[in-house]
Structure 1
Amino acid sequence: MQPTTVQQFAKILAASSDTAFLCATSRLLEPLGYEVVHATDGNNAIEAARSFQPDAIIVSLSSGRIGDLELCRRIKGDAPTSSIPVLLIVNAEADKDCEQLPDYEADVCLLAPLSEGELLVNVARLAERHRVELFHKEQPHTGGCDDSYKTSRAGQISSVAEAACKPRDLTALSDTAESRVTNGIAQAELFEMVMRAKQEWEATFDAMSDGIFIFDHSKRLSRVNRAGARLEDSLPHQLLNRRCCEILRVGESGAAGCIVERIINEGRSATIEVTPDKLQRPLLVTVEPVKEDGAVVGAVCTVRDLTELREIEAVARERHSLLMSVLDCARESIFALDAEGVIQWCNKATSETSGYAMDEIVGKHLLATVPEAEHARVTEYFMRALNGEPQSYEMSYRAPDGHLRYSLVDEAPLIIDWRTTGVLAMARDVTQQKLVRERAAQSDKLRALGQLASGVAHDFNNALAAILGRAQLLRRLVTDEHSLQNLDIIQTAAEDAAATVRRIQTFARQSQTKTYASLDARSILRDSIEITRTRWENDAQARGLQYDVELKIETPLFILGNVSELREVFVNLIINAIDAMPQGGRLLISGAREDGRARLRFADNGTGMLEEVRVRIFEPFYTTKGAHGTGLGLFISYGIIEQHGGAISVESMTSQGTTFTLDLPASEEKVVKGELPQITDDVAPLSILVVDDEDFVRETLVEMLSAFKHHVSERASGAEALEACERRKFDMVFTDLSMPGMDGWAVARGVRHRQRNAKVVLVTGYGTNATPPHDAEEIVDEVLGKPFDFNQIREMLARLSVKMVST
């Protein structure tokens, strides 16, 4: 027969009137393999000891209960139980009773309170000793030797030496005894290690901040830590053996309501959040089933108090709300991108500035609305920021209405938990500033171009004045028909060149003075058609194209406005219509008086416009002509019409053409010009002074005036002219406007100061719109633009002669 280890099937009888002690003993010993039975009084204990034959008996002596001492005496005095070792546990008050006991009443007496490890070690030693003694008694030996195994009242062998004298196999007996004792000691040490581990586990179990409830297969509480007991406002041992549905009231009683009972029945885990009425605090309850061999034998319930977490979350929400309010109050667009360039979050300003809804922005790639031409540049800046290098750059994007908007973007790496997760960007809309800068640049460009055009026009007019004047002078002398034809050609070419120069001067807009008068729209439209004829006729024919520009206004149509500005508008609309018909076409200009308004329509049959182009057609610097357009023509025209108290609108359909409609105030009266005086060559000879620094222009004008039999003197500078006025009286003085040293205005002022009745004519290559000084009307009687011809000079001399007679 081989002995088993002390844990295997070792039987322990626990006798006490304290049921809590009996339950605690079972919880301690049964997990280690002991079989434990309980007895709550002496008679039951004696009966259980006789029938159960335990390996050890534990008797707990309560304060003042001498009956427990009697139980020890009865166990040791009863033959069937006398050899069973007894462990007596007494508390401090009953300690004096233990001293009154005879030697045979208990094998070990321990003083409470004692540790579980101490109890386990003593129980293991007593049980092992008892089982070793039983083993030796069962060994075979010769007759008459039974009394040689004497035992003490504790059931121990009284004399091993005496037993060795008996005729039997004492060597085997010694080896067996030694093995048993060694095994018992080893088992006791192992139990002590187990108990230390158990104590450490229980210390950890009780130190946990979450409440832990362990339920057995019958759904009753078998273990709870201190945190769990605090949730029930109780002590751990007071909660033991309660039903699951009584704990924390986490569900209604019954399998359908109680979460623990449901988990044990269904065998799956669950987590719920509850707020028990008695606690009024949120709890997170997690229940996990405990399984053995696939069967559910209980459940572990973990309860976490969420009060502190909820308070932290409330503070976090408050701070998050504050941060969001601050970010939403920011005027700059702020948005966060992940490492792939996808927008993860944006503030309100991002939506308001871009025109996209916030849910349209979040989840969209940074390059989604950026023009393709800028993709590489924007990506490069983004990657630099992602690699830790802050960036600042200007980018453009297309708004929902199709317009390009511009932003100044600052990017920096977005670092979370010491790791770069993306890029944080802040953008400031600079669309208006950019437009202002572009407008200023365009204005500077146009101003410079205007100044250049003005200077070129002046120089051309000087040359044309000499050419046209000389040609007309020769015509008065030549009688040969062929020569006259040649002179006519020269004169026509010079006049065409002069018309071109006038268009340049119109572009340069030399005059800023606005004089509104009653004007015949038909006359201005005819001039505009002639001004653009080179574009729609000569140039077109050279390219093999045919344009039909028709003016269809049957009756006079008078409007109130400034002739030069309205001419500019009409010229712009004609040129735009020609550009909209790249393969040739027809432009019909019509007009009528309607309800006191003059309505003019420019209708072409060109390519038409898309709606997104039509809505932007009057924007400054917006052009569909690329580098060939400035984007200012229609913008300026729109402003001019508005300043005239009118309106301009456009209708267009793709492939069907475009119609511009102008609505202008109609003039109630036609300006009736006074009849010009009869112009003849019989004007009495006058004394005339001509002042010009350009010799060929001066000499031409002198000869043309001399042809009318006048006495003409000439000077090359203003100083010389004023000096001549000091010595001699002149009826008229023709002075060039642009001269070095002293300009024409200064000469006119000097002449008026010296000879008040002399008529002064300002001759200028800048046209008749030369910007006058404040006293222009007092010092200058007429303005003669270059180039000039005989008819102009004759008419001017006639007008001035009439004025001279009247004064």
Structure 2
Amino acid sequence: MVALAFLVLAVAAIPAVLGERRVRRARRERDAALYEVQMRARRYAKSFQQAPTPLALVNPSSLHITEVNEAYMMLLGRTRDQLVGEGVANLGLGSPRARAQWIRRLLRSGLVRNAATTLVCHDGSTRDVIVGLDLLEQADGEMQVLVTVHDQTEVNRALAALRSADERMRELTNTLDEVFWICTPDRLVMHYISPAYEKMSGRSCKHVYANALAAYDQIVDEDRERLIRELPRYNQGDARDTEPFYVHEFRIRLPDGALRWMRAKEFPVRDTAGTVLRIAGVITDITDQRLLEEQLRQAQKMESLGMLAGGIAHDFNNLLAVISSCSGLLAETIGRDSPDAELVDDISEAVVRASALTRQLLAFSRKHVAEAVVLDTNIVVTDTRKLLRRIVGETIEVDTSLDPELHAVRIDRGHLVQVILNLAVNARDAMPKGGLLRLATRNVDDDVVLEITDNGCGMSPEVLARACEPFFTTKELGKGTGMGLAVVHGIVDQAGGKVEIDSDLGRGTTVRIVLPAHAGPAQANRTITEDSERGVETILIVDDDEYVRRATARALRARGYNVIEAGTGRAALVALPTAKIDLMLTDIIMPGMNGRVLAEAARSRFPELKVVYMTGYTDDEVVKHGVARGEVELIEKPFTIQALALKVRSALDADSRVTGPIEIPIDRSNHSRLDLT
């Protein structure tokens, strides 16, 4: 019975024991959950406080601040005690109206994102911020608003500076003539191209934005093929893309057909790994530079030709001087009635032509010794007109229209005659079946214009562009030197003028010689008769070339002068005291003692001695030896007997001679003996 009683009691106690265990387990679980919540709360609080982003908690019902983190307090410049428990306005965010809008959006959607506003700090300064609001339910079921603030002040400042720099860059690129561009590594997409492209290419920038490769369409075919071969292919790992920049030169054709030279300099823009992100570049129009380079090459070519001409001028002119003097003496000896007179005329004509060739070379290179005088262009045209008739032939009519009030000009008379003759020859060749050659003069402002017009075949634009190039000719091989207009250009340029050419294919050509007008009147001419070529004075001839010296002495003796010869400067100084020398005729460039040094030494002993210089060299070489054209009496080789006699007579009569150029009487029946060039 007792055992049964214990069993009954034990069974009755089982529910109580089980209930006790359940309670203890529930307590343990509750405590664990509470601990977890507390730990999470601590971790959240720690994360909240240590977060680098400014954070704040706000009670949505009372709109009071319940918590702020360190980052928010540092941004605002206030302590926790100054913020917690205060109204939301103390967070310094936005205006009351903006805050009300945020609350409405928050209650409607549960969050607010990217609300840009201004935060007013405790010291009154402001910061640009982006605000986010999130509605959170806490563990106790209470609702809180999490306020997140991102400070954008420095970012905005950087963006503003970038926009300002971009604006300045655009203003700069808009004012520069160079074209700036940025494209993808494969060159298929144009990110940017400056407005200067439209002025440079004559095409719209939109055209290139739509199709970047369209920019290559304007490049001349052969240059485009070369450029495509040279361009590094950055998107294909081209081995050539290791350079910091690349330079390419090419030609483009504008919509009007004009060709322009371009220089493109491109730079691959890389990331830190060396990968090309984009290509940037600048294009410069170098057409003017190319033209200057071409002009420099032409100038160097002319300089080389001048050096060549100067090198041969002396010896060649000495030979011509001998031939000219001998043929002149022979002509005087046999007389005009001799059957051999025509042969002598041919010799004289050959001398004139050979001398003209040398002078053309020197004038082309602008190294010819020019004696600029003030003259009347009308008189030169009138004097040359009769000669023109023989040059152009009977099928071409020569007409003149001369301004009677024409201003004077300052130019070498022989050079002006040569200009007229060269242009007349060109006009003749342009009118093989005959036509009209018209010479006209007129005043234009402060210039004098000599206009020579023909109604011949004219020139195409391509030929006209090269008309003044040396050695350029459209004539058959052996029938033209290509020097005519080049010589004209050199002469006129040397005189301070310019050459203008208008030509229409099939209609004719007009060449205008524009020379600066001279303020004073043209010098009066005087005529020297044949008797004034003679004399009885004693002349000392000094020349290292025996043949020139002997021919010159023979010519002067035939004019009645007493002549003493010397082959060197030292020999001349020895000869001076042996007789009363009235005039010394000396070559300038001689071995040992040149003419200038000789003249100075002679005049130091005989101050009244008169000196005439002879030269077959270019102006540069003469000046190097101390002789300036305007300062001395100078005669160029080759010279005719008549020109020599007139120069000597003029120098001997220097104290009493009339100022002005000497007009040599022209024998119209034998004008070929006169050196008109």
Instruction: State the TM-score, normalized to the length of structure 1.
Output: 0.52
Letter in 2 for 1:379: I
Please say if residues 532 and 575 of structure 1, whose CA atoms lie closer than 8 Å, have aligned partners that are also in contact.
no
Structure 1: runs of 5 or more not aligned: 1-100, 119-206, 208-228, 235-245, 261-271, 286-303, 539-545
Larger radius of gyration: 1
Q: Secondary structure at the match of 2:181?
A: strand
Letter in 1 for 2:318: N
Letter in 2 for 1:785: E
Q: Secondary structure at the match of 1:671?
A: coil
Which of 550, 553, 560 matches 2:408? 560
Q: 1:765 to 1:347 in 2, by over 3 A?
A: same
Counterpart-to-counterpart distance in 1, 2:653 and 2:117: 115
Counterpart-to-counterpart distance in 2, 1:624 and 1:492: 25
Counterpart-to-counterpart distance in 2, 1:652 and 1:720: 59
Q: Secondary structure at the match of 2:592?
A: coil
Match of 1:472 in 2: 328
Counterpart-to-counterpart distance in 2, 1:230 and 1:629: 97
Q: Shift in Å at residue 508 of structure 1?
A: 2.9
Letter in 2 for 1:786: K
Counterpart-to-counterpart distance in 2, 1:231 and 1:548: 111
Q: 1:576 to 1:377 in 2, by over 3 A?
A: farther
Match of 1:322 in 2: 165
Where do 1:362-373 residues align within 5 Å?
362=209, 364-365=212-213, 367-373=216-222
Please say if residues 510 and 771 of structure 1, whose CA atoms lie closer than 8 Å, have aligned partners that are also in contact.
no
Q: Shift in Å at residue 491 of structure 1?
A: 1.5
Match of 1:378 in 2: 227
Please say if residues 415 and 422 of structure 1, whose CA atoms lie closer than 8 Å, have aligned partners that are also in contact.
no
Q: Secondary structure at the match of 1:741?
A: coil
Match of 1:395 in 2: 249
Please say if residues 183 and 280 of structure 2, whose CA atoms lie closer than 8 Å, have aligned partners that are also in contact.
yes
Q: Shift in Å at residue 674 of structure 1?
A: 5.2
Q: Secondary structure at the match of 1:733?
A: strand
Question: How large is the RMSD of aligned CA atoms in angstroms?
Answer: 6.1
Counterpart-to-counterpart distance in 2, 1:648 and 1:707: 45
Where do 1:219-234 residues align within 5 Å?
none
Match of 2:344 in 1: 487
Cα deviation code 1:139-161 (max 9, x no counterpart): xxxxxxxxxxxxxxxxxxxxxxx
Counterpart-to-counterpart distance in 2, 1:476 and 1:378: 72
Which of 571, 587, 595 matches 1:744? 595
Q: Shift in Å at residue 701 of structure 1?
A: 0.8
Match of 2:604 in 1: 753
Q: Secondary structure at the match of 1:561?
A: strand
Please say if residues 505 and 766 of structure 1, whose CA atoms lie closer than 8 Å, have aligned partners that are also in contact.
no
Q: 1:655 to 1:475 in 2, by over 3 A?
A: closer
Q: Secondary structure at the match of 1:383?
A: coil
Please say if residues 511 and 770 of structure 1, whose CA atoms lie closer than 8 Å, have aligned partners that are also in contact.
no
Q: 1:249 to 1:716 in 2, by over 3 A?
A: same
Counterpart-to-counterpart distance in 1, 2:523 and 2:463: 44
Counterpart-to-counterpart distance in 2, 1:778 and 1:635: 23
Q: Shift in Å at residue 559 of structure 1?
A: 3.3
Counterpart-to-counterpart distance in 1, 2:150 and 2:429: 76
Please say if residues 249 and 276 of structure 1, whose CA atoms lie closer than 8 Å, have aligned partners that are also in contact.
no
Q: Shift in Å at residue 463 of structure 1?
A: 1.2
Counterpart-to-counterpart distance in 2, 1:230 and 1:632: 93
Match of 1:152 in 2: none
Q: Shift in Å at residue 492 of structure 1?
A: 1.6
Q: Secondary structure at the match of 2:265?
A: strand
Match of 1:689 in 2: 540
2:444 pairs with 1:590: no
2:452 pairs with 1:452: no
Please say if residues 463 and 697 of structure 1, whose CA atoms lie closer than 8 Å, have aligned partners that are also in contact.
yes
Match of 1:335 in 2: 181
Q: 1:706 to 1:586 in 2, by over 3 A?
A: same
Please say if residues 448 and 517 of structure 2, whose CA atoms lie closer than 8 Å, have aligned partners that are also in contact.
yes
Counterpart-to-counterpart distance in 1, 2:534 and 2:490: 46
Letter in 2 for 1:710: Y
Counterpart-to-counterpart distance in 1, 2:631 and 2:118: 107
Q: 1:728 to 1:481 in 2, by over 3 A?
A: closer
Cα deviation code 1:141-185 (max 9, x no counterpart): xxxxxxxxxxxxxxxxxxxxxxxxxxxxxxxxxxxxxxxxxxxxx
Count matched residues: 545
2:316 pairs with 1:443: no
Letter in 1 for 2:547: F
Where do 1:665-704 residues align within 5 Å?
670-673=521-524, 675-680=526-531, 683-704=534-555
Q: 1:581 to 1:352 in 2, by over 3 A?
A: farther
Counterpart-to-counterpart distance in 2, 1:697 and 1:554: 43
Counterpart-to-counterpart distance in 2, 1:307 and 1:629: 82
Counterpart-to-counterpart distance in 2, 1:251 and 1:630: 94
Letter in 2 for 1:727: T
Q: 1:309 to 1:677 in 2, by over 3 A?
A: closer
Q: 1:674 to 1:275 in 2, by over 3 A?
A: closer
Greater shift in the superposed pair: 789-798 or 593-602: 593-602
Please say if residues 274 and 282 of structure 1, whose CA atoms lie closer than 8 Å, have aligned partners that are also in contact.
yes
2:634 pairs with 1:783: yes
Please say if residues 694 and 716 of structure 1, whose CA atoms lie closer than 8 Å, have aligned partners that are also in contact.
yes
Instruction: State the TM-score, normalized to the length of structure 2.
Output: 0.60
Match of 1:795 in 2: 646
Q: 1:431 to 1:762 in 2, by over 3 A?
A: same
Q: Secondary structure at the match of 2:589?
A: coil
Q: Shift in Å at residue 733 of structure 1?
A: 1.7
Q: Shift in Å at residue 453 of structure 1?
A: 1.6
Q: Secondary structure at the match of 2:339?
A: helix
Percent identity (aligned): 21
Letter in 2 for 1:337: C
Counterpart-to-counterpart distance in 1, 2:522 and 2:233: 71
Q: 1:523 to 1:442 in 2, by over 3 A?
A: same
2:317 pairs with 1:461: yes
Cα deviation code 1:662-704 (max 9, x no counterpart): 6666668753535345432894533222111112111111111
Q: Secondary structure at the match of 2:611?
A: strand
Which of 359, 363, 375 matches 1:506? 363
Letter in 2 for 1:553: S
Cα deviation code 1:118-146 (max 9, x no counterpart): 9xxxxxxxxxxxxxxxxxxxxxxxxxxxx
Letter in 1 for 2:550: E
Match of 1:68 in 2: none
Q: Secondary structure at the match of 2:580?
A: coil
Greater RCO (Cα-Cα under 8 Å, separation 6 or more): 2
Match of 2:572 in 1: 721
Counterpart-to-counterpart distance in 1, 2:423 and 2:28: 112
Please say if residues 532 and 571 of structure 1, whose CA atoms lie closer than 8 Å, have aligned partners that are also in contact.
no
Where do 1:226-245 residues align within 5 Å?
none
Please say if residues 538 and 583 of structure 2, whose CA atoms lie closer than 8 Å, have aligned partners that are also in contact.
yes
Letter in 2 for 1:460: F
Structure 2: runs of 5 or more not aligned: 1-14, 34-46, 48-55, 62-100, 120-128, 135-146, 475-481, 658-677
